[in-house]
Amino acid sequence: MARVFIFGATGSLGRSVLRQSVESGHDVTVFVRDPSKLPYEVSTRIGVRRGDLLQSGADAIADLVRGHQVVLNCAGHVTDGEAFVDLVSRLVDGVERLQPLERPVCWFLAGAAVLDIGESGRRGVDLPRVKNIYWPHRANFERLQRSSLAWSLLCPGPMVDRAPVGLSTLRVTVDRLPVPVSRLSRLLPAPLLLPIFASKIPEMIIPYSDAAALMLAHLGAEGELVRRRVGVALPVGMKGRKSTWTATLK
């Protein structure tokens, strides 16, 4: 079992990560602005620190996570723009303040738009419309690349509050979309690649609980997911649905 520190434990993904962490027997501490939002059934079984990540300096963050083996960041949202980039940067700066042997393994959250699109040499964030909203994912990924941390960046499509599909059935990839894309995509201009990318998103709409399970299954400082972008998709033939994704492309 690991000593786990969770940021954003009261959000949609954070609640799943928190519940599964406790159920797995991990020693869990959370950092939240409002502890009353924590589920009562787990709040007495965890350590709770109160505060605002966006108001915390690097030294304070280092003190928070010191002594933990894993940091799981579920805080922030891409629509927060610069605030999301600032949040991730603060957290990375804080962990980097620790001595190398003290630093925990870190999981961060991005989205499918930061993954490579097959052999096209491009990503969703390179495409029109998509880049206008999802550019913070690119900025956060670049910040992680510049760091010396043992990080993994989870890059699903939109997530939904539905029953888990099951970790063993998911398609998981590193750095590329976890769904097939024609080799001809590399010949297409960005405006024509956009609908191909958009058509693949429903296969990557996964339940929060499955995203949490994937993170918690890989908590080591070594392995194929360390310092990689992690794509995840539903089993072949399955598609999810979330109207907010479609709305962003109109």
- b/e map of 193-230 (b: 16 or more CB within 10 Å)? bbebbbebbbbbbbbbbbbbbbbbebbeeeeebbeebb
Q: What is the pTM of this model?
A: 0.95
Radius of gyration of the chain measured on its C-alpha atoms: 18
Report H helices in 112-237: 130-146, 190-200, 208-216
Per residue in 234-246, pLDDT (tens digit) is: 999 999 988 654 4
Contacts of 205 (CB under 8 A, 6+ apart): 156, 157, 158, 159, 160, 234, 239, 240, 241, 242, 245
Which residues, given as ranges, of the chain have pLDDT below 50? Answer: 245-250
Determine the pLDDT at residue 245.
Answer: 46
Instruction: Look at residue 242 in the predicted model and tell me its pLDDT.
Output: 81
List the beta bridge partners of residue 106: 71, 151
Q: Which amino acid is at 12?
A: S
* Range of the structural domain that residue 171 is part of: 3-248
48: which strand partners? 30
CA 26 – CA 110 distance, rounded (Å):
24
Number of domains in the chain: 1
Residue 7 is part of a domain; what is its CATH number?
3.40.50.720
Q: pLDDT digits over 127-148, tens only? A: 999 999 999 999 999 999 999 9
Q: Nearest to residue 114, comparing CAs of 102, 127, 123?
A: 123
Tens-place pLDDT, residues 32-64: 999 999 998 999 999 999 999 999 999 999 999
Predicted pLDDT at 241: 86
